[in-house]
Amino acid sequence: MFDTPPEATASGWRKAPPWPAPALLSWGASWILFRFLNIQGWPPVWVLVMSAAVGVLLSVWGNSWWRKLFIAGGFPVSFALSLQVLGQGDMPSWMWLLPLAIMLLVYPVNAWSDAPLFPTPAKALLELPTHAPLPVGAKIVDAGCGMGHGLRALRLAYPQAQFYGLEWSVVLRWWCALRLPWARIRRADIWEADWSGYDMVYAFQRPESMPRAVAKAAKQLRPGAYLVSLDFQAHDLVEKARYQAPNGKMVWIYQTPFVYAHD
């Protein structure tokens, strides 16, 4: 059911260029696509949707919410201003809701407190089996899988495992499932989903959500299962192991039953 993993040279999104290059590149790409689709005779609504979607996808380059919004909103705002300047501001008002709708599909409101969309580097998890060995057929879940970069990195480390993804965004869930046919991706709130059936939970969260992940893992994971965090330490726990990935990020490994730092 799970075919041969991709080569270790597979890469995720490249490191973002220095600010404000991400915004300028995104806006330029949106306008180029806008011009191209117009020349091809696409319907105006789809021209706007596809051009705005470029900014939303490239908003992963933003390292804060205001930068993500700045990247994603640049094209719609500049387009609106250009219509006003040209005296063509008679476009139906509802069309300006389309970019916002796309943004909300990718970044649902109830997921704003979780980690922003940021890819796991392809080789960051290759050393995991040394510290967290798993049997053939083990079940690994990426809690908040986004576009699937974490699952790809996990598969490089554990080629014989079974892979699952939990993602609340409809768009990202669909895109991840399309990209990774060997994984089982479902739309779910990671905090409401049951983690008890997994041998490893991978959580690339933000520091303030790590205590919540620890509490959920302690309550639901069976003895011997692992909680793995990229970059952010669970300060309440004593790690089983940790190591620095090739890109400099720290990988933190915790095994149930957890050992608490204050014990």
pLDDT, one tens digit per residue, over 130-174 is 999 999 999 999 999 988 999 999 999 999 999 999 998 887 888
Whether the pLDDT of residue 191 is over 70: the answer is yes
Q: Computed from CA positions of residues 252, 256, 262, 263, in that sequence, does the dihedral angle turn out positive or negative? A: negative
Q: Are residues 138 and 225 in the same domain?
A: yes
Where in the sequence is the domain holding 50, given as residue range(s)? Answer: 21-107
Out of 61-65, 146-150, 241-245, 247-251, pick the least confident: 61-65
Assess if residue 146 is contained within a domain. Answer: yes
What's the pLDDT at 259?
94
Burial (Cβ within 10 Å: 0-12, 13-18, ≥19) of residue 127: middle
Assess if residue 187 is contained within a domain. Answer: yes
Cα three-residue angle 38-78-16, rounded to 5 degrees: 95
* 3-state SS class at 109: helix
81 vs 94 pLDDT, higher one: 81
Neighbouring-strand partners of residue 167: 187
Per DSSP bridges, beta strands 200-203 and 226-230 are parallel
Q: Are residues 169 and 230 in the same domain?
A: yes
Which amino acid is it at 222? R
Burial (Cβ within 10 Å: 0-12, 13-18, ≥19) of residue 125: buried
Work out how many domains the chain is built from and give that number: 2
What's the pLDDT at 113?
45
Which amino acid is it at 7? E
Assess if residue 101 is contained within a domain. Answer: yes
